[in-house]
């Protein structure tokens, strides 16, 4: 046990040790239910738009639905174990001089690369286990009611707050057409009845709980 602690907090394994400790603490907190599901369910970004280290994660078409927390945790854990194993082998071999220093410096690099390859092999079948997540569509908002947030809504400007099926809210651009121009004001409830893909806005109409929706005829 003492040797493991010494290796873990000695070079080169210490490069991964602190990250591995963070991973262990994160999953302990998650098991206690103190981590939100939105964090655990965050999917890997195939476009790399999230930036940073997540842009380097081993993501394939079959594994894109695996949460990024799972992929990153697996990568760090495998890199740590690989570094420990390499350090043990180096101690048994006992290379001296320049060769020993060079191998010690290259150990974290090799451990990270091999962990990346191993994570890719593990994540690929996990993608089938999680299944492909359905892509979010703006058309899902059509048919739902929203609450106007701007002073008024016209043919050129307007915003509203809408709640999706999962309970999350979003601010969307809205427009009115025909006789409804200028009718909607801040706080009013409106019905989203169409999405314009060219203008990237939603068409809304006044919604009365008593009489129901009455979208204009275009």
Q: Give residue limits of the domains in the chain.
A: 2-130, 138-213
- The answer, yes or no, to whether residue 49 has pLDDT greater than 70, is no
Q: What is the mean pLDDT of residues 188-209?
A: 89
**pLDDT recorded at residue 44:** 46
| Top-confidence range, 91-100, 137-146, 191-200 | 191-200
**Peptide bond connecting 12 to the previous residue in cis, omega within 30 degrees of 0:** yes
pLDDT per position as a tens digit, 88-140: 887 777 666 676 667 777 888 888 889 888 888 887 776 655 554 444 467 78
Specify the pTM. 0.48
Q: What are phi and psi of 161, to 5 degrees?
A: -100, 130
Is the model's pLDDT at 216 over the cut of 70?
no
Query: DSSP assignment of 73-109, as one string?
Result: HHHHHHHHHHHHHHHHHHHHH---HHHHHHHHHHHHH
Domain 138-213 has CATH 3.90.226.10: no
Q: What are phi and psi of 55, to 5 degrees?
A: -70, -15
Position 148 confidence tier, pLDDT thresholds 50, 70, 90: very high
């Amino acid at each position: 046990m003492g040797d493991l602690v010494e290796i873990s907090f000695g070079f080169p394994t210490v490069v991964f040790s602190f990250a591995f400790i963070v991973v262990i603490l994160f999953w302990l907190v998650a098991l206690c239910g103190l981590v939100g599901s939105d964090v655990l369910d965050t999917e890997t970004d195939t476009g790399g738009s999230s930036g940073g280290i997540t842009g380097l994660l081993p993501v394939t078409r079959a594994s894109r639905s695996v949460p990024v927390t799972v992929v990153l945790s697996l990568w760090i854990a495998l890199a740590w174990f690989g570094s420990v194993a390499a350090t043990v082998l180096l101690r048994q071999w006992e290379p001296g001089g320049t060769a020993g220093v060079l191998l010690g410096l290259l150990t974290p690099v090799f451990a990270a690369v091999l962990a990346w390859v191993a994570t890719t092999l593990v994540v690929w079948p996990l993608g089938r286990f999680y299944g492909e997540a359905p892509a979010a569509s703006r058309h899902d908002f059509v048919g739902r009611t929203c609450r106007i947030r701007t002073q008024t809504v016209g043919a050129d400007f307007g915003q509203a707050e809408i709640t999706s099926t999962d309970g999350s809210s979003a601010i969307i651009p809205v427009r009115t057409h025909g006789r409804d121009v200028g009718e909607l004001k801040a706080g009013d409830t409106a019905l989203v009845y169409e999405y314009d893909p060219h203008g990237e806005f939603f068409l809304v109409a006044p919604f009365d709980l008593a009489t129901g929706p009455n979208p204009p005829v275009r």
